[in-house]
Amino acid sequence: MVDQTGRIGMPRGNLPPLELHVPEPRFRPGDPVDYSWLDIPGAGELPRFDEACEARETMPATLGMVRVLDGKHRAVGPWDPRLDPETLRRILRTMALTRAFDDRMYRGQRQGKTSFYMKCTGEEAVSVAHAYALAGDDMVFPSYRQQGILIARDYPLVEMVNQIYSNRADRLKGRQLPIMYSARDYGFFTISGNLATQFPQAVGWAMASAIKGDTRIATSFVGEGSSAEGDFHAAMTFAAVYNAPVILNVVNNQWAISSFSGFAGAERSTFAARAVGYGIAGLRVDGNDALAVYAATQWAANRARANKGPTLIEHFTYRAEGHSTSDDPSAYRSAHEREEWPLGDPVMRLARHLIALGEWDDERHAAMDREVAEEVKAAAKAAEKNGVLGHGFHHPFHTMFEDVFEDLPWNLREQAEQAIREREAKWPDARSPGTGEEGEGA
């Protein structure tokens, strides 16, 4: 600022000084928790829009919330997808299986069998119900908390554990951080630790599908913290301009690693409301209500297949546990947040709905929990035969030089040969490559 005398940066006497706003979470460790400030619309209140409507007509859905299950565990309102009991039981079992898998792998990390793990506790409906509403060949560009999609698509649990343990049977040959799966034959794009890169990738894939006249759509996930990345906005622009057949999902679980959603813009408006500025359809959904997630996904998928363009969905949920096994959430948030979360637990909400329908009971639920725990245990035991972290069962050493070039350049070939010779000299008693025995060398 330059005043009349030419001096720069001098405050004017008749104006208040500027103040920088730094967002603050409502609760700190040890604080009591009161969620009464949250405006949670009642189940069934939001009208269901025509799937072919203009994007701007969905604006009420970006500020309201798609909800189906009410306080009495009934499915109510126009968004009820009216799923048959058998489908509901499959969704429930898949969510329970995902949770059991997470629990087992968490324990495995604590036992030193892997270096890292990330659970999706409290968010199972976001991925599982979403997967059930898609076609099996639709392409998913996931973040690192959508393991439920792979499980819903019947990807072998033992293959997931092999990847987590980075053992000799790991299809990715130990080159990816644990839980960053890749399964092209299951329509599951490689997970990346770089934030939000999957959003423009999904839009590009969807554009290519449209160019080819295909019928498959793409879907992608980021956390609310990642929505502050530039890739989020680039993806939104391209999706809007080219009317890409894509579903863009923001999982608002209230926390990034250790910063709350306010740092990504949650204090100003909903994340779904960002769709409005881009001319994209937007929905805000109760992420702990499997029926609501299914209905919103089905709506967006039908819209994309009808060439009506992309949809941004905000899944309003809560990350019940730490960001990862490297995180201690008690250092930055109140321990009471999880138990006080007003939208409850997605697994139990769907179970109680089935019970209310007369299609489920506590005994069958307990039996299901035992069954999925045994299924995960069997997969983990089978994978452990292929090795765990630091126990010598791994891919042959020479594979670290493969799969990048079709023909290895001469300089890298020389480096590879030298590295293998030095390894053999250092461990002359190592087993032959590919035997799978402990201590294998080249």
Cut 0.75: pTM above it: yes
Going through 44-156 in order, the beta strands assigned E by DSSP cover 139-141
Q: How many CB atoms lie within 10 A of CB 348?
A: 14
The DSSP call for residue 47 is: P
Q: How far apart are CA 116 and CA 118, in angstroms?
A: 7
Full pLDDT tens readout for the chain, 442 residues: 555 555 676 667 789 999 999 999 999 999 999 999 999 999 999 999 999 999 999 999 999 999 999 999 999 999 999 999 999 999 999 999 999 999 999 999 999 999 999 999 999 999 999 999 999 999 999 999 999 999 999 999 999 999 999 999 999 999 999 999 999 999 999 999 899 999 999 999 999 999 999 999 999 999 999 999 999 999 999 999 999 999 999 999 999 999 999 999 999 999 999 999 999 999 999 999 999 999 999 999 999 999 999 999 999 999 999 999 999 999 999 999 999 999 999 999 999 999 999 999 999 999 999 999 999 999 999 999 999 998 878 888 888 888 889 999 999 999 999 998 998 898 887 654 444 444 443 4
DSSP alpha helix (H) spans, 272-358? 274-278, 290-305, 337-340, 346-356
What CATH architecture applies to the domain 55-384? 3-Layer(aba) Sandwich (3.40)
Q: Show me where the domains of the chain are located.
A: 55-384, 396-442
Residue 30: which region, alpha, beta or left (left: phi > 0; alpha: psi -120 to 50)?
A: left
Two tokens, residue 30: 């040890």
pLDDT digits (tens, 9 = 90+) for 167-176: 999 999 999 9
Angle at 58 between CA 55 and CA 59, to 5 degrees: 105
Two tokens, residue 324: 């990862």
Question: For the residues of 379-402, what is the DSSP string, one character each?
Answer: HHHHHHTT--TTSS----GGGGG-
Q: Tell me how far the alpha carbon of residue 204 is from its chain's centroid.
A: 19
